[in-house]
Amino acid sequence: MTRLTNGEPTRKIADLEQVSQSGVAKIKMKLASTLDLKDLPRSGRPRILTERDERKIVREIVSNSAQTAVDVQKNLKHNDLLEISTQTVRRALRRNGLRARIKRKKPLLSKNHRKQRLEFAKKHKDWKEEDWARVVWSDESKFQLFGSDGKQYCWVKPSDQIDPRSVQPTVKHGGGNIMVWGCITWSGIGFMCRIENIMDAAQYRTILDTCLMPSMDWYKMKKEEVVFQHDNDPKHTSKLVQKWLSENEINVMKWPAQSPDLNPIEHIWNEVDRRLRKLPGKISSKEDLWDKLQDAWNDLKEDDCRKLIKTMPERVRDIIKAKGGYTRW
């Protein structure tokens, strides 16, 4: 500013200050017209919300008094007689570092569920990698013939007629599905089997006989060293199954209800599903789905299982940190 008031050329000032000559020229023009470099008052509508209003909006969301911008708008109108749009609320939330996200779907956790999960985590917080390596993880999963019901997007030109590329075909009842049971170990995947019709305790006992035991034999796992994990489905806890587990001297891990985030096999199912979706062409029938599902399962490597089982200490810590509540898994 001193150089400008002394009448030095803009080119010389730009070279000395290492800025553009046009920038110096603009400052010179502003100085000549206003005799000051301060920003002039801006035109336009002032903000509706005060800093206090914005703090209240953020508090509504953070304290769970409101779930959405619409909820906040209604609360402000009812409690503070403040008439604002939902878009104004959204802008205020974004200015304060909050972002809208789709809610993750998680099992409903009651107070008792949280207690069980926390007890499990505390009991196993000192388990090392070699302890988790003894566990055989199991679960059932459903695979839909026509895949996900999620939204699909496409690019088309506006037209009165429907372009086939803009249609996502649907079939009543989802086109059918198949249920499977599988297990994983530290050494790799175990045997997977197809569940016929609705699984009952008798069919589950047969699965343990024909899939669990051969999986343990395949990897030469000693029964006395194995810890078997399955959830608390009534079929799993039936007298018939409990008798089989006792007769075969299988040590069963006490599992907390509503805890799929603790079971690494859940991520294996997700990986299998991703591989199925990447396959070229369409899966034409349940038998075709079963064939491709077996191929995807058998393509899984030892490391795919091992890297997930290695996350167990971290999962347990997250449960303790969340006091038995939801985790990121």
Domain CATH code at residue 133: 3.30.420.10
> Taking the model in full, what pTM does it have?
0.69
How much is the pLDDT for 64? 83
Same domain membership, residue 201 and residue 73:
no
**Which residues face 172 on adjacent strands?**
none
Q: Give pLDDT tens digits for 143-166.
A: 988 654 444 555 555 554 555 545
Q: Give pLDDT tens digits for 315-324.
A: 999 999 999 9
Same domain membership, residue 11 and residue 75:
no
328 part of a folded domain: no
What is the C-alpha separation between 74 and 34, in angstroms, rounded? 46
Instruction: Find tokens 């996200």 and name the residue.
Output: 101
DSSP type of residue 160: S
3 state DSSP class of 23: helix
40 part of a folded domain: no
Is residue 157 classed exposed, middle or buried when 0-12, 13-18 and 19+ CB atoms within 10 A define those classes?
exposed
How much is the pLDDT for 47? 77
DSSP string, 86-151: HHHHHHHHHHTT----PPPP-----HHHHHHHHHHHHHTTT--HHHHTTEEEEEEEEEETT---S-
Report the chain's mean pLDDT, rounded to a whole number.
87
Same domain membership, residue 147 and residue 268:
yes
What is the C-alpha separation between 63 and 73, in angstroms, rounded? 15
Residue 113's alpha-carbon distances to 109, 126, 137, 314, 325, in angstroms, are 6, 22, 20, 20, 9
Cα 44 to chain centroid distance, Å, stands at 42
Report the half-sphere exposure of 57 (CA within 13 A, side-chain side).
30
Percent of the chain with pLDDT over 90: 58
Same domain membership, residue 164 and residue 21:
no
How much is the pLDDT for 146? 62
Instruction: Find tokens 């008792």 and name the residue.
Output: 112
Same domain membership, residue 172 and residue 23:
no
What is the C-alpha separation between 207 and 193, in angstroms, rounded? 7
Q: Identity (one letter) of the amino acid at 169?
A: P
Q: Give pLDDT tens digits for 111-143.
A: 999 999 999 999 999 999 999 999 999 999 999
Same domain membership, residue 61 and residue 29:
no
179 part of a folded domain: yes
What is the C-alpha separation between 40 and 42, in angstroms, rounded? 6
What is the C-alpha separation between 20 and 103, in angstroms, rounded? 49
Same domain membership, residue 147 and residue 81:
no
Same domain membership, residue 90 and residue 22:
no
Same domain membership, residue 231 and residue 196:
yes
How much is the pLDDT for 18? 83
DSSP string, 289-316: HHHHHHHHHHT--HHHHHHHHTTHHHHH
Range of the domain at 27: 2-34
On whether the CB atoms of residues 226 and 84 are closer than 8 A, the answer is: no
Residue 274's alpha-carbon distances to 210, 301, 319, in angstroms, are 27, 15, 27
| Beta strand segments in the chain, E | 135-144, 177-185, 188-189, 193-195, 227-229, 251-252
Examine the pLDDT at 262 and tell me if it is beyond 80. Answer: yes
- Report which listed range, 68-72, 89-93, 100-104, 304-308, is most confident: 304-308
3 state DSSP class of 228: strand
